[in-house]
Structure formats: C-alpha cells, structure tokens
C-alpha cells in the first residue's frame, strides 16, 4: 500500500474487510453494500439525485462526480445507468474510495454497477478542464465550513473532515463545471444553504434536509 501522509493520530489499516481509517476510537470504511436497498429500481427512481440528474433521450449517459468523497452519490448515479467519473483530491480518501470500488466489483450484487465507476485522483477543476468529451451531467457536492460545523455531531464524519478541507473557491469549481459543457450541473446543497457561487438554478428538487439545484447551461 502506498505510503500516505496522515494527520497525527490517524492510521490506515487493511484487514479482511478492506481498507479502513482509524483514529480517536472511530473507524471510517467505505461500504456500498449497505446501500443495496436504495438501488432497487422501485426506490432508485425516487431518489432526488437520480431525478435531478436524469437526461432525456440519452441511452448511455455520462456523469462526472467532481467531489466524490466516499462515492455513495456516484453509486446511485451508476445504478441509474450513468457511467461515472469520480474525482477526489485527497489522497487518503481516494485510497479508501478505490478500495471500496474494488470490493464492490467483486460483489455479485454490486459488480455491474461498480463497473461503471472510474476514480480519478486529483483536483476537480483541473480534471474538468482536461476532459476529452463533455459529460451529460456534472455533479457537485462541495464541503463548506457551515456544513462542517453541522456535521460535527456525526462521529464517523469527524474522521473524514480531518482529511478533507472545505472548498476554497466555489466560483472556480462552478466555472469549471460549466466550462465542461454538460447538459446540466447538479449541485447538492443544505436545505436552506445559499446557491453555489451565487448561480441561480434553473430548478430545484427539495428534500427533507437537502436540496438539489439543477443548472442547465446555455449551449
């Protein structure tokens, strides 16, 4: 396993269940299997993200998840038929995500979906600027300081937040997403959070705790 720099008190370990981040008496391990109930077609079609990302008249849609994290949103998109490129800038989170995808590809229940997921480690702005073709959808779920404070009550996320810093330039991220010329940009936001980079969406899907802003660029 590649030697990665970790904050003091954290360590990466590999056991029979895969790669995990340990620290402060907590464990962070990617696991797609717990999402299997949400991947059933009767439930998947009702997922707000899937509804927000849906593109009409495209038989094999593509998406870029520019802020992949542990990949759970990307899994929903892949289950809905998207071929998904996942971008993750933090090396440790990328290692956890790569292990999660690899284990999913060996699970008969998830293999077909995980085969449509490809991880790219690196900065999302740079990755979006170097695409060979325009994706149908760019998905953004950036971590911002106000979200970090609210999420601090979730002990599992505390480990994640010790690695992943908030987005420093939301304008640059939005510009890169729009410059990739997708059919739509989908942004996951706190229910009452501001629009990302001040860009007013074409429409929004509202959930109980989050909303999905849909921006349809002028082609």
- Using the predicted structure, report yes or no on whether residue 165 has a pLDDT greater than 70: no
- Using the predicted structure, report yes or no on whether residue 70 has a pLDDT greater than 70: yes
Q: What's the chain's average pLDDT?
A: 90
User: Is 8 among the domain residues?
Assistant: no
Rounded mean pLDDT, 9-19 = 92
Distance CA 132, CA 143 (A): 27
Task: Point out the least confidently predicted range of 73-77, 152-156, 186-190.
Answer: 152-156
What CATH number is attached to the domain comprising 70? Answer: 3.40.50.150
- pLDDT at residue number 148: 47
Q: Strands of 26-28's sheet, edge to edge? A: 11-15, 18-23, 26-28
Q: Dihedrals φ, ψ of 148, to 5°?
A: -60, -40
User: Is 17 among the domain residues?
Assistant: no
User: Is 140 among the domain residues?
Assistant: yes
- pLDDT at residue number 132: 94
- pLDDT at residue number 5: 79
User: Is 178 among the domain residues?
Assistant: yes
Q: Dihedrals φ, ψ of 172, to 5°?
A: -65, -40
Distance CA 33, CA 127 (A): 28
User: Is 2 among the domain residues?
Assistant: no
Distance CA 13, CA 23 (A): 11
Distance CA 166, CA 147 (A): 9
User: What percent of the chain is modeled with pLDDT above 90?
Assistant: 77
- Using the predicted structure, report yes or no on whether residue 142 has a pLDDT greater than 80: yes
Question: Tens of pLDDT along 106-118?
Answer: 999 999 999 999 9
User: Is 6 among the domain residues?
Assistant: no
| Residues 6+ away with beta carbon under 8 Å from 76 | 35, 38, 39, 44, 47, 49, 50
Domain that residue 170 falls in: 32-215
User: Is 132 among the domain residues?
Assistant: yes
C-alpha count within 13 angstroms, C-beta hemisphere, residue 186: 25
- Using the predicted structure, report yes or no on whether residue 93 has a pLDDT greater than 60: yes
User: Is 166 among the domain residues?
Assistant: yes
- pLDDT at residue number 167: 61
In this prediction, residue 153 has a pLDDT band, given cuts at 50, 70 and 90, of very low
- Beta-strand runs (E) in the chain: 11-15, 18-23, 26-28, 62-65, 83-88, 117-121, 137-140, 184-190, 203-206, 210-215
* pTM for this model (two decimals): 0.91
Number of domain units in the chain? 1
């Amino acid at each position: 396993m590649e030697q990665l720099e970790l904050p003091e008190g954290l360590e990466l370990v590999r056991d029979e269940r895969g790669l995990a981040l340990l620290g402060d008496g907590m464990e962070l391990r990617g696991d797609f299997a717990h999402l299997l109930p949400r991947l059933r077609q009767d439930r998947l079609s009702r997922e707000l993200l899937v509804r927000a990302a849906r593109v009409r008249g495209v038989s094999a849609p593509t998406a870029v998840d520019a802020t992949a994290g542990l990949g759970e949103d990307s899994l929903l998109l892949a289950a809905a038929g998207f071929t998904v490129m996942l971008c993750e800038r933090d090396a440790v989170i990328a290692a956890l995500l790569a292990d999660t995808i690899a284990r999913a590809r060996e699970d008969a229940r998830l293999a077909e979906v995980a085969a449509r997921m490809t991880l790219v480690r690196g900065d999302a702005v740079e990755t979006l600027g170097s695409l060979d073709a325009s994706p149908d959808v760019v998905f953004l779920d950036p971590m911002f300081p106000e979200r970090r404070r609210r999420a601090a009550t979730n002990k599992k996320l505390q480990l994640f937040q010790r690695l992943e810093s908030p987005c420093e330039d939301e304008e640059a991220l939005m510009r890169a997403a729009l410059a990739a010329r997708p059919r739509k940009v989908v942004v996951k936001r706190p229910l009452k959070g501001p629009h990302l980079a001040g860009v007013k969406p074409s429409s929004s899907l509202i959930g109980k705790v989050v909303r999905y802003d849909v921006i349809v660029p002028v082609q």
